[in-house]
């Protein structure tokens, strides 16, 4: 009989790995989890959580500006970056402690260090080796920075959460959600912010109206956005950096953030030696059961580079553990997954974009409802910020196919909309629902005429 130290060995203590480890241990499975950086993974430490805390912090400058319109006299506010970092660190430490307690209380063995695979059932961490019947890789993603002259001078999103001090000028390279979010954060904290992107629109993959609208709102706030701009080289100067673009122009900045995407974090795992099948960008290929081409090896979350969202990773973990260790089946439905971008203003979206809907069906079968308006708060605040709401409907069935929003609390509003879409709500269902007045959300149940 083959002896195993564990039934399941999890590599990576991020959201997906921790969920899988806890659930399996709760079913009586002998589980170990290895982590070489920090419990909680990217989301807790250098992702979702600190990012949103920074978004809150950066938005106060607009709140102070808006207060005057409501009768408040506010003295000149002063921002303390070191205070924000200290407060953020306290919260992250608290969450790390919660993750540790959850694992310990579940009976999971926590192993600190870089894990590598020696064979299909053996994991090495430092000078120790562990045998396991199954191995789950949940190591997430890692910032990807292209090779350009001066690459050594840039920072990634990881370092943005621990800067010694704020720069006076920052250049952010990229057009995805991380770049857009940090542009809002830095601008809100008083940093002169330039966002540089090689494409002609931000946020590839989002609805076209959303992409155009959010860029306009960001520019209105004072963020400088340079489209169709490539970076050729970065040179260090006495007081910062000079960036040479493909348009023969030079940009000056004290800090350069590259938010040009993330790659599957597979370094040091030894996957190639075992013959684990990988995608072109290093993503671990898995089947519908999150199993690799080696039967005892499984992978989920961002390291598989399918849908890189924390809630998706935790859902995949639950699905895998239930499949392996119980008779319950909880497959993940990847359709209509809601998401938010904590830009300023926020973006919330669920379902098909207008382009996707017209491609899947036909132009004549798709109706688009859209509303652009001034949020009630800004009728007195004096701030020039608009909200966009958009609904995509299939005419032949009246089914709501997609809902998209740019505006305050978009993520909070779209979460409820996602339930309706997953339940198969029709436009008639929305029309017959009584709105909550006065709110922005009621706009989704009062849209009557399509724009096309």
Query: DSSP secondary structure string, 277-334?
Result: -B-TTSPBP--TTSB-SSTTEEE-GGGG-SS--HHHHHHHHHHHHHHHHSS-------
Name the β-bridge partners of 116: 124
In a domain, 74, yes or no: yes
In a domain, 192, yes or no: yes
Residues 29 and 52 in one domain: yes
Provide the pLDDT for residue 135.
98
Residues 164 and 191 in one domain: yes
The H-or-E segment that residue 349 falls in is strand 347-351
Residues 15 and 161 in one domain: no
In a domain, 277, yes or no: yes
Provide the pLDDT for residue 1.
66
Q: Please give the share of the chain, as a percent, with pLDDT higher than 90.
A: 96
Provide the pLDDT for residue 327.
85
Give the whole-angstrom CA distance, residue 402 versus residue 422.
Answer: 10
pLDDT per residue over 275-322, tens digit each? Answer: 999 999 999 999 999 999 999 999 999 999 999 999 999 999 999 999
For the entire predicted model, the pTM comes to 0.96
Residues 176 and 33 in one domain: no
Cis before residue 411, ω within 30 degrees of 0?
Answer: no
Residues 273 and 249 in one domain: no
Helix, strand or coil, per DSSP, at residue 145: coil
CA neighbours within 13 Å on the CB side: how many for 72?
11
Domain CATH code at residue 375:
3.30.390.30
Structural domain span for residue 311: 6-142+263-325
In a domain, 333, yes or no: no
Rg of the chain on CA atoms, in Å: 24
Domain CATH code at residue 186:
3.50.50.60
Give the whole-angstrom CA distance, residue 349 versus residue 357.
Answer: 14
Residues 48 and 133 in one domain: yes
8-state DSSP, 444: G
Give the whole-angstrom CA distance, residue 407 versus residue 410.
Answer: 6
Cβ 80 vs Cβ 237: under 8 Å: no
Residues acting as catalytic residues:
437
Region of 228 on the Ramachandran plot (φ > 0 left; ψ -120 to 50 alpha; else beta): left
Q: Which residues of the chain have pLDDT under 70?
A: 1
Strand ranges, E, within 72-223: 109-112, 115-119, 122-125, 128-137, 141-143, 169-173, 192-196
Where does a domain end: 325, 349, 370?
A: 325
- Nearest by Cα to 140 from 36, 248, 277: 36
Give the whole-angstrom CA distance, residue 384 versus residue 140.
Answer: 39
Residues 22 and 135 in one domain: yes
Residues 194 and 305 in one domain: no
Residues 366 and 418 in one domain: yes
Residues 130 and 179 in one domain: no
Residues 129 and 278 in one domain: yes
In a domain, 451, yes or no: no
Q: Total domain count for the chain?
A: 3
Name the β-bridge partners of 349: 339, 404
Residues 350 and 432 in one domain: yes
In a domain, 276, yes or no: yes
Strand ranges, E, within 147-285: 169-173, 192-196, 224-226, 231-237, 240-245, 250-253, 255-258, 262-264
In a domain, 452, yes or no: no
In a domain, 343, yes or no: yes
Give the whole-angstrom CA distance, residue 202 versus residue 236.
Answer: 28
Where does a domain end: 209, 241, 260?
A: 260
Give the whole-angstrom CA distance, residue 23 versus residue 15.
Answer: 12
């Amino acid at each position: 009989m083959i002896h195993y130290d564990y039934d399941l060995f999890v590599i990576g203590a991020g959201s997906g790995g921790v969920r899988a480890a806890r659930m399996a241990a709760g079913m009586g499975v002998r589980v170990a989890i290895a982590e070489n950086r920090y419990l909680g993974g990217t989301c807790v430490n250098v992702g979702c959580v600190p990012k949103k805390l920074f978004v809150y912090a950066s938005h106060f400058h607009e709140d102070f500006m808006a207060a005057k319109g409501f009768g408040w006299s506010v003295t000149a506010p002063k921002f303390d970056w070191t205070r924000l970092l200290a407060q953020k660190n306290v919260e992250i430490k608290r969450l790390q402690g919660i993750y540790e307690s959850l694992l310990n209380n579940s009976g999971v063995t926590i192993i600190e260090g870089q894990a590598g695979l020696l064979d299909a059932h053996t994991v090495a961490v430092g000078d120790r080796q562990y045998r396991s019947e199954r191995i789950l890789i949940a190591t997430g993603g890692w910032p990807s920075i292209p090779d350009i002259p001066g690459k050594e001078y840039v920072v990634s999103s990881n370092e943005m959460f621990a800067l010694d001090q704020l720069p006076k000028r920052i250049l952010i390279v990229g057009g995805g959600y991380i770049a857009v979010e940090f542009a809002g954060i830095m601008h809100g904290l008083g940093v002169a912010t330039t966002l540089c992107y090689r494409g002609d629109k931000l946020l590839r993959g989002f609805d076209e109206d959303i992409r155009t609208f959010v860029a306009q709102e960001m520019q209105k706030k004072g963020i400088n956005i340079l489209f169709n701009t490539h970076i050729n080289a970065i040179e260090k100067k006495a007081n910062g950096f000079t960036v040479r673009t493909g348009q023969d122009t030079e940009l000056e900045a004290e800090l350069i953030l590259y938010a040009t995407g993330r790659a599957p974090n597979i370094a040091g795992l030894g996957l190639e030696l075992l013959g684990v099948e990988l995608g072109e960008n290093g993503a671990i290929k898995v089947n519908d059961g999150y199993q690799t081409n080696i039967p005892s090896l499984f992978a989920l979350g961002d390291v598989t580079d399918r849908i890189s969202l924390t809630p998706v990773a935790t859902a995949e973990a639950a699905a895998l553990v239930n499949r392996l260790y119980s008779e319950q089946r909880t497959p993940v439905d990847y359709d209509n997954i809601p998401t938010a971008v904590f830009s300023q203003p926020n973006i919330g979206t669920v379902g098909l974009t207008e382009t996707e809907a017209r491609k899947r069906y036909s132009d004549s079968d798709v109706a688009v409802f859209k509303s652009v308006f001034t949020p009630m708060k800004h009728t007195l605040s004096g701030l020039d910020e608009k909200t966009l709401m958009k609904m995509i409907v299939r005419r032949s069935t009246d089914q709501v196919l997609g809902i998209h929003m740019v505006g305050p609390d978009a993520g909070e509003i779209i979460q409820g909309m996602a339930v309706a879409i997953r339940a198969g709500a029709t436009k008639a269902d929305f029309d017959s629902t009584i709105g909550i007045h006065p709110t922005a959300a009621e706009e989704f149940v009062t849209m009557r005429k399509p724009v096309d």
